[in-house]
């Protein structure tokens, strides 16, 4: 009986010590690893990449999560160079005083199967579900920062339209989403 109780204690300790989901901005395992059309759940940290935009959209729509942000490495929201959809378990609030999702180091996140990452590679951005994104030039939310952005067709546009002033093309190293 003591062995059974001891075994149950060890099993329950392992279950308690194992997190149910990853913290925002982490990426454990990918479910698919080919292609340049990717998604990352900011709630669980899981990523998946696909060969086609259609396959990515099918994957994202089949998940129980909401689209939050679309990051493109081409201007005008063009997916030809690939793009990444950030998803989450809940929509953002209308407030921008608290970061609801974040990533302190875009260099840690593999975007493409060939090892490229999101650091200094974002050229246009769109948000969804009341979210806005704020980019930082340095890792861990340091250095120059943009105001919160809803949509920007060319981050190097120097403040035209909905874009922030200055050139932010291929410059972001971390972000807050609120």
Model confidence pLDDT, tens digit, residues 3-44: 333 333 333 333 333 222 333 444 344 454 677 888 999 999
97 three-class SS: coil
161: which 2 tokens?
């339209």
Average pLDDT score over residue span 116-131: 89
How many C-beta atoms surround the C-beta of residue 113 within 10 A?
14
Average pLDDT score over residue span 146-154: 95
Nearest to 135 by CA among 160, 116, 115, 152: 152
Judge contact between 124 and 72, C-beta under 8 A: yes
Q: Quote the pTM value.
A: 0.78
Q: Give the domain ranges of the chain.
A: 23-177
Which CATH code for domain 23-177? Answer: 2.60.20.10
| pLDDT of 110 | 60
Residue 145 reports pLDDT greater than 60:
yes
pLDDT digits (tens, 9 = 90+) for 77-111: 887 777 889 999 999 998 888 999 999 998 886 65
Average pLDDT score over residue span 103-131: 81
How many C-beta atoms surround the C-beta of residue 94 within 10 A?
8
């Amino acid at each position: 009986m003591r062995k059974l109780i001891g075994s149950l204690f060890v099993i329950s300790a392992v279950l308690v010590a194992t997190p149910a989901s990853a913290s925002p901005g982490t990426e454990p395992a990918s479910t698919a690893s080919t292609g340049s059309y990717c998604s990352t759940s900011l709630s669980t940290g899981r990523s998946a990449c696909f060969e086609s935009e259609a396959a990515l959209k099918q994957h994202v729509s089949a998940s129980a999560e909401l689209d939050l942000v679309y990051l493109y490495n081409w201007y005008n929201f063009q997916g030809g160079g690939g793009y990444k959809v950030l998803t989450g378990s809940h929509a953002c609030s209308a407030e921008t005083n608290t970061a609801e999702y974040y990533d302190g180091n875009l260099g840690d996140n593999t975007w493409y199967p060939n090892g490229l990452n999101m650091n200094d590679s974002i050229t246009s951005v769109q948000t969804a579900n009341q979210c806005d994104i704020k980019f930082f030039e340095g890792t861990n939310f340091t250095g120059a920062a943009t105001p919160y952005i809803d949509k920007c067709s060319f981050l190097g546009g120097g403040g035209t339209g909905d874009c922030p002033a200055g050139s932010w093309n291929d410059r972001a190293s971390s972000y807050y989403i609120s």
